[in-house]
Structure 1
Amino acid sequence: MDIGLSLSRNARRIPEKTAIIFGEETYSYKQFNNKVNKLAHGLLEQGVEKGDKIAFMMKNSAEFMIVYYAIMKVGAIAVPVNFRLTMNEVSYILDNCDASVVFFDGDYASLIQEATAENEKINLKVAVDGNVLNGQLAYEEILTGIIENPDIVVDESDDAEILYTSGTTGYPKGALFDHHRVLHVVFNTAMNMKINPGDNLLHVAPMFHSAQLNLFVVSGTYLGCTQVIHQNFEPAKVLEAIEKHKISIFFSVPTMYNFLLQVPNKEEFDLSSVTRCGYGAAPMPIAVLEKTIELFGTEQFYNMCGQTEGGPGAGIFLLPEEHKEKMGAGGKASLNTEVRVVDDHGKDVVPGQVGEFIIQSEMVMKMYYNDPEETANTLRDGWLYTGDLATIDEDGYITLVDRKKDMIISGGENVYSTEVEQVLYKYPKLLECAVIGLPDETWGEKVVAVIVLKKGETVDHEDLKAYCKKNLAGYKVPVEFIEEEEIPRNASGKVLKYRMREAITAGENNDS
């Protein structure tokens, strides 16, 4: 079994069923498969061989899915690239993954041209739409008229994807997966969330990210679901699409759910078709989750807590029925997965003690591509060391409290940002917040909260500090509140705390 074969089978089994809806474009499974095959044969005619790395820097679109499945069918390795990265970051990824081909939306033609200027490995640059610069080809130029499946044997053990990590602590690393690992993510997700061919899925989170790609795009295609694609996240249009297309499964990151709650007439939309909601990629504030459950009118919410290196199906799930007693927890091990919380010596911690969250599963990456040192640091004795700090309770439920590198040590006391953020999110005037540690001559580090106010609101910082003192131990209370227009995040919704620390520290140095 391989990823591309699932599409071929659906084209034979349910040829007329709607596979993709993207704006005014609609494709049946037969049409989807035909378009994929036309591109796959075009890649072969351009000299692409099995095992080649093909990068693509594209926003959500029908073409994104066509490019991805064409790569799968020729036995190449897909390398989706975050379209929000800088030229230097893109250049680094394209070089690091040894890509020989890169697809991109026309809006990124200049960036790609600059990022590949000194890259001699790339011999084919394809603009999917819009601008085509010198040395680049237009997407239509490499399409063929061949609609038969390419005669390429792809095995389950063949490599399928290099997924770059979010880069929340620096340059991203490329997690390598074969078809076997990705397909196990599909099976795991389908069983956990009870996805079936009758479901309609809406893709609003970026499809280059492992959560939307493997958990839902590949799962939805494998099962023969109808998939609606939004290129950009526009909260009101998301609610409209749910009502119009009778979306039954919806996944989003916490930030997006928070912005759905800000739509003024949100209660006017009929969201009753949604029977299962997933959230993940970043911690979900309890206050936001409670309001989101009320908005959707269903308690069928799943906390999907994993990471890129886990596919991200390997990790922990909090099932809907567990939310009543354990809301805020990450959950227990997902199917086909073992999880632990361990101390610095690899021993299991006692309930309530903080340790590192580690994972063992068939869904875990093979390695970091071209990075044996980081691979050895991360994959140890058959376990994936996530770098996430967590606790485990008496019932075996795991809760993430911070990244190891983001933990704050103030006056010798450990402060976990997630705990402070959960309290701040209950303050009615705040839209978003992020808690970081900054250097302090007296305490080593001081707790600082970066806050974003809801539209039209003002906040007295002393009142906010008094509120925190009622709900937190004194050493956990932020000593400073910094108001910003937005919290810096990557495209998957994760807060870039290292960038916040750098920006604030640089600002303080410039003022001195």
Structure 2
Amino acid sequence: MDIGTTLVRNARRTPHKTAIHYGEKSYSYVEFNREVNKLANGLISRGVKKGDKIALMMKNSDTYMVTFYAIMKAGAVAVPVNFRLTAKEVDYILNDSDASIVFFDGEYAELVHEASTEKVALQVSAGPTSNGQTRLEEVTTIDESEPGITVDEWDDAEILYTSGTTGNPKGALFDHHRILHVAFSTSIMMKIGPEDNLFHVAPLFHSAQLNLFMITATYLGSTQVIHQNFDPVQALKAIDEHQISLFFGIPTMYNFFLQVPDKEKYDLSSVKRCGYGAAPMPVPLLEKSMEMFGHDQFFNMCGLTEGGPGGVLLWPEDHKTKLGAGGRAMLNTEARVVTDSGEDVHPGQVGEFIIRSEMVMKSYYNKPEETQKALRDGWLYTGDLATIDEEGYVTLVDRKKDMIISGGENVYSTEVEQVLYKHPKILEAAVVGLPDDTWGERVVAIVVLKQGETIDYVELKDFCRKHLAGYKMPTDFFEEKELLRNASGKVMKYKLRESLKAGSSKY
């Protein structure tokens, strides 16, 4: 089986069922499949061959889904690109991935023109064009027949670029076999079926929304509601209007939901399961989110791009006794926490989190040395520091590169952040280490206050002192209007450190 075939089968099995809602437009499965075929045949007519790399720099839309599946049916490899990147960053990904075609929303026409390397032979805009670019309509044909390209499950399907929270992103390469195993596992773990209505509001260039939910929903023949951008009020309206049955979001989205003043007027009772991931979710935020949705069927999906995404899962029943943990190994996955020498750590001891599964990437694209470091003896070394208890529950404590060493003591930023999130006036917090002549590094905290709030930082230090050992205490606080995040919702701590080193107001 391949990813494109899953759409074909549902177009035949349930042709008139609604596949996509986007704005005022809706597509049945047979209509969706026809649109995909028209573009796939257009790509083939322009010389696209199996294995060619095609980039997508597009926001969530019906066009995104049509383009992605057209790439799959043409036997090409999709390279989703973060639409919030600069021209220099986009140029890096297009060059690194060997992309020969790039599809993009019209608003990025100038940026794509500036970014495109000589390798990119065709720039295709879904809107306005610039500097001789091609419009999407010019590539789309009237031929609705199946393209007839034989795609094998071991053929390459995606190059997904890591979030780059510690430097330049790397392209994780996946074939159809690996991505379909993500869909199989997700559908079983979260009990997703054709009857479900799923909501795509997290960006589809990110592996979580793309592989865990878009490809899974299409494989199953579920109905999919797409929003181009996340607006908490509009998202709540959509949940109510479309009777969304499964919602996935990053912790920031749940936080914004809770800030909507009249959120109680929206009927959220159709949502039977909630997933969260891509960043740690503070326990107080999780508890309030459960109260808002009126149930405890929450899944902590603690994984990484290189895993498909995959890793560990905290099931709803585990939230009663293991709240705050990452979870146990997902279906079809093994998980361990090991020392630098590769031995399993003792319960409670900190080590590196590693996984093995059918869903783990083939390699980092064109990076053999990086691949060799990450994939060893069949295991993916994630670079995440974690603990594991006697029952196999893994709890992430930090990225290796984000761990703070102050006076010879290890300080894990997530532990300090969990304390800060308990303060009633704090909306968001991030903790990093800065160089210190005496201690090597000192602990500092960046905080975002809830709307209309002010805070006494002497009082905040006293609050922290009640919950943290002295060496874990933030020495300085930096107040910001928002945390610097990438489009996947992850805090870019290396950027925060650079900004703070350059000087900023502290309290």
TM-score, with length taken from structure 2: 0.99
CA–CA distance in structure 2, aligned partners of residues 134 and 396 of structure 1: 56
- The range that moved more, 390-399 or 156-165, is 390-399
Write the letter of the residue equivalent to 1:74.
Answer: A
Write the letter of the residue equivalent to 1:428.
Answer: P
Q: What is the aligned partner in structure 2 of residue 225 from structure 1?
A: 222
1:282 to 279, 284, 288: 279
Q: What is the aligned partner in structure 1 of residue 109 from structure 2?
A: 109
Deviations 1:249-302 (A, max 9, x none): 000001111111100011111100000000001100000000000000011000
Cα offset, 1:135, TM superposition: 2.4
Identity over aligned pairs, percent:
69
CA–CA distance in structure 2, aligned partners of residues 372 and 111 of structure 1: 30
- Helix, strand or coil for the counterpart of 1:188? helix
Deviations 1:296-324 (A, max 9, x none): 00110000010000000x21000001100
Q: What is the aligned partner in structure 2 of residue 133 from structure 1?
A: 130
Write the letter of the residue equivalent to 1:338.
Answer: E
CA–CA distance in structure 2, aligned partners of residues 295 and 268 of structure 1: 11
Write the letter of the residue equivalent to 1:328.
Answer: G
CA–CA distance in structure 2, aligned partners of residues 423 and 396 of structure 1: 25
Q: What is the aligned partner in structure 2 of residue 163 from structure 1?
A: 160
CA–CA distance in structure 1, aligned partners of residues 499 and 264 of structure 2: 39
Write the letter of the residue equivalent to 1:31.
Answer: E
Write the letter of the residue equivalent to 2:124.
Answer: V
Cα offset, 1:464, TM superposition: 0.4
CA–CA distance in structure 2, aligned partners of residues 365 and 143 of structure 1: 31
CA–CA distance in structure 2, aligned partners of residues 267 and 468 of structure 1: 33
Write the letter of the residue equivalent to 1:488.
Answer: L
Q: What is the aligned partner in structure 1 of residue 237 from structure 2?
A: 240
| Aligned: 1:19 with 2:19 | yes
Q: What is the aligned partner in structure 1 of residue 462 from structure 2?
A: 466
- Helix, strand or coil for the counterpart of 1:10? helix
Write the letter of the residue equivalent to 2:130.
Answer: L
Q: What is the aligned partner in structure 1 of residue 62 from structure 2?
A: 62
Q: What is the aligned partner in structure 2 of residue 258 from structure 1?
A: 255
Q: What is the aligned partner in structure 2 of residue 370 from structure 1?
A: 366
Q: What is the aligned partner in structure 1 of residue 490 from structure 2?
A: 494
Write the letter of the residue equivalent to 2:55.
Answer: A
The runs of 4+ residues in structure 1 deviating greater than 3 Å are none
Q: What is the aligned partner in structure 2 of residue 413 from structure 1?
A: 409
CA–CA distance in structure 2, aligned partners of residues 296 and 215 of structure 1: 21
Cα offset, 1:381, TM superposition: 1.0
1:467-482 alignment, distance < 5 Å? 467-482=463-478
Q: What is the aligned partner in structure 1 of residue 376 from structure 2?
A: 380
Q: What is the aligned partner in structure 1 of residue 440 from structure 2?
A: 444
- Helix, strand or coil for the counterpart of 1:388? strand
CA–CA distance in structure 2, aligned partners of residues 397 and 330 of structure 1: 7
Cα offset, 1:104, TM superposition: 0.3
- Helix, strand or coil for the counterpart of 2:321? helix
Deviations 1:174-219 (A, max 9, x none): 0000000000000010000000000000111000000000000000
Write the letter of the residue equivalent to 2:176.
Answer: H
CA–CA distance in structure 2, aligned partners of residues 266 and 5 of structure 1: 40
The gaps in structure 2 that reach 5 residues or longer are: none
CA–CA distance in structure 2, aligned partners of residues 123 and 395 of structure 1: 53
Cα offset, 1:393, TM superposition: 1.2
| Aligned: 1:198 with 2:174 | no
Write the letter of the residue equivalent to 1:120.
Answer: E
CA–CA distance in structure 1, aligned partners of residues 205 and 149 of structure 2: 25
1:288-307 alignment, distance < 5 Å? 288-307=285-304
| Aligned: 1:423 with 2:412 | no
- Helix, strand or coil for the counterpart of 1:402? strand
| Aligned: 1:505 with 2:482 | no
CA–CA distance in structure 2, aligned partners of residues 408 and 373 of structure 1: 27
| Aligned: 1:457 with 2:453 | yes
Write the letter of the residue equivalent to 2:466.
Answer: K
Q: How many equivalent pairs are there? A: 506
CA–CA distance in structure 2, aligned partners of residues 3 and 394 of structure 1: 38
CA–CA distance in structure 1, aligned partners of residues 419 and 491 of structure 2: 17
CA–CA distance in structure 1, aligned partners of residues 168 and 67 of structure 2: 25
Deviations 1:420-474 (A, max 9, x none): 1111101000010000000111111110000000111001111001001101111
Deviations 1:211-244 (A, max 9, x none): 0000000000000000000000000111111010
Q: What is the aligned partner in structure 2 of residue 95 from structure 1?
A: 95
CA–CA distance in structure 2, aligned partners of residues 488 and 134 of structure 1: 33
| Aligned: 1:5 with 2:2 | no
- Helix, strand or coil for the counterpart of 2:94? helix
Q: What is the aligned partner in structure 2 of residue 352 from structure 1?
A: 348
- Helix, strand or coil for the counterpart of 2:503? helix
- Helix, strand or coil for the counterpart of 2:132? coil
Cα offset, 1:121, TM superposition: 1.4
- Helix, strand or coil for the counterpart of 1:507? coil
Q: What is the aligned partner in structure 2 of residue 121 from structure 1?
A: 119
Deviations 1:84-140 (A, max 9, x none): 111111000000000010000000000000001xx22111110011x2112210001
Write the letter of the residue equivalent to 1:162.
Answer: I
CA–CA distance in structure 2, aligned partners of residues 262 and 440 of structure 1: 37
Deviations 1:371-418 (A, max 9, x none): 111001111111100000000112211000000000000111100010
CA–CA distance in structure 1, aligned partners of residues 484 and 131 of structure 2: 35
- Helix, strand or coil for the counterpart of 1:261? helix
CA–CA distance in structure 2, aligned partners of residues 222 and 362 of structure 1: 18
Q: What is the aligned partner in structure 2 of residue 47 from structure 1?
A: 47
- Helix, strand or coil for the counterpart of 2:192? coil
CA–CA distance in structure 1, aligned partners of residues 278 and 149 of structure 2: 35
1:181-196 alignment, distance < 5 Å? 181-196=178-193
| Aligned: 1:393 with 2:364 | no
Q: What is the aligned partner in structure 1 of residue 170 from structure 2?
A: 173
CA–CA distance in structure 2, aligned partners of residues 153 and 381 of structure 1: 32
Deviations 1:160-179 (A, max 9, x none): 00000000011100000000
